Structure 1
Amino acid sequence: MLVQAYLFFHGRCEEALTFYRQALGAEVSELLRFSDSPDPLPEGMLPPGYESKVMHCCFRIGETQVMASDGCSAEQPGFKGFSLSITLPSAAEADRIFTALGEGGQVQMPLGKTFWSPCFGIVMDRFGVSWMLNVIE
């Protein structure tokens, strides 16, 4: 069994991919737009102007593959009830990534020492995705 995260960015997927490339070194392996569909989409399925939006994409952050889309709605429901967790080898790397992800976002728990990690923190990025950074030395 394989469980993978699938994120819906409601019109901001391409912007998120650009951000994750810069902040995390993400590598996009597949990107399909709604206009790439060989079958016509049902009438009224997409908001106007969504034809060039991302229907499906896969990107890799380190060893993990994440999938994403703009979805079929321009609504902004947000991401609730989960965080993506990143395990890092050093506090310096955690600080670099925490700072990058936090640009335009919101710190939920500043990086600091915990009983399980020399450096742990939680930050919500500008797209509303919560990230937990954990250093294992």
Structure 2
Amino acid sequence: MSLINPYLTFNGNCQEAFNFYKSVFGGEFITIQKYKDMPPSEDLKIDTKFGDRIMHISLPINKEKENILMGCDSNPEYGEVPVVSNITLSFSADSKSIADKVFSSLSEGGKVSMPLADTFWGSYFGMCEDKFGTSWMVSFDKSK
């Protein structure tokens, strides 16, 4: 089986964002690595002011641990902070109540572009942007 797992890049607030995602989805971090934890290297020198930024973090967002939300902080020493505006993460809930809970949590402090509602295609669906600028679609397939 092949999987696609989203990888989000932040500008110094990755730990805060992932603590938020952990509060929304539950679970425990599989990995948290900071730039300061990298072994010394002549080729890759890390300025100490960026040492506490997250180099890699991963959080399973379902019980089977098949879907993993991953991320990092940018490191200005490696170039500009990437800005991506054409990506939306889609979360499919197991129930309407879970969809409500996740959507409410994700949209708190963010922006709702389409409130959760029954749709003509038979799904319970809504869209929002969280307080970290990540776009989300939350849905529950009522036919299941």
Q: TM-score higher than 0.5 here?
A: yes
1:101 and 1:78, CA in 2 relative to 1: closer, same or farther beyond 3 A? farther
| Residue number in structure 2 paired with 1:57 | 57
Alpha-carbon distance between aligned partners in 2 of 1:73 and 1:116, rounded to the nearest angstrom: 44
SS of the residue 1:49 aligns to: helix
Does residue 82 of the first structure (1) align with residue 94 of the second (2)? no
TM-superposed deviation, 1:77: 5.3
Alpha-carbon distance between aligned partners in 1 of 2:5 and 2:118, rounded to the nearest angstrom: 29
Equivalent position amino acid for 1:108 in 2: S
Alpha-carbon distance between aligned partners in 1 of 2:90 and 2:59, rounded to the nearest angstrom: 16
CA contact (8 A) 2:22 2:59 kept: no
1:107 and 1:79, CA in 2 relative to 1: closer, same or farther beyond 3 A? farther
TM-superposed deviation, 1:136: 1.2
TM-score by length of 2: 0.82
| Residue number in structure 1 paired with 2:35 | 34
CA contact (8 A) 2:115 2:127 kept: yes
Alpha-carbon distance between aligned partners in 2 of 1:76 and 1:108, rounded to the nearest angstrom: 25
CA RMSD of aligned residues (A): 2.1
Match of 2:103 among 98, 106, 113: 98
Give the gaps of 5 or more residues in structure 1.
none
| Residue number in structure 2 paired with 1:111 | 116
1:131 and 1:26, CA in 2 relative to 1: closer, same or farther beyond 3 A? farther
1:118 and 1:6, CA in 2 relative to 1: closer, same or farther beyond 3 A? closer
TM-score by length of 1: 0.86
CA contact (8 A) 1:124 1:131 kept: yes
TM-superposed deviation, 1:95: 1.1
Alpha-carbon distance between aligned partners in 2 of 1:130 and 1:101, rounded to the nearest angstrom: 9
Identity %: 35
Equivalent position amino acid for 2:37 in 1: D
Encode CA deviations 1:83-120: one digit per residue, 9 max, x unaligned: 11111122221111111001111101111111223410
Give the gaps of 5 or more residues in structure 2.
none
Q: How many residues align?
A: 135
Q: Could you list the structure 1 runs, at least 4 aligned residues long, displaced by more than 4 angstroms after superposition.
A: 74-78
| Residue number in structure 2 paired with 1:128 | 133
Alpha-carbon distance between aligned partners in 1 of 2:69 and 2:5, rounded to the nearest angstrom: 6
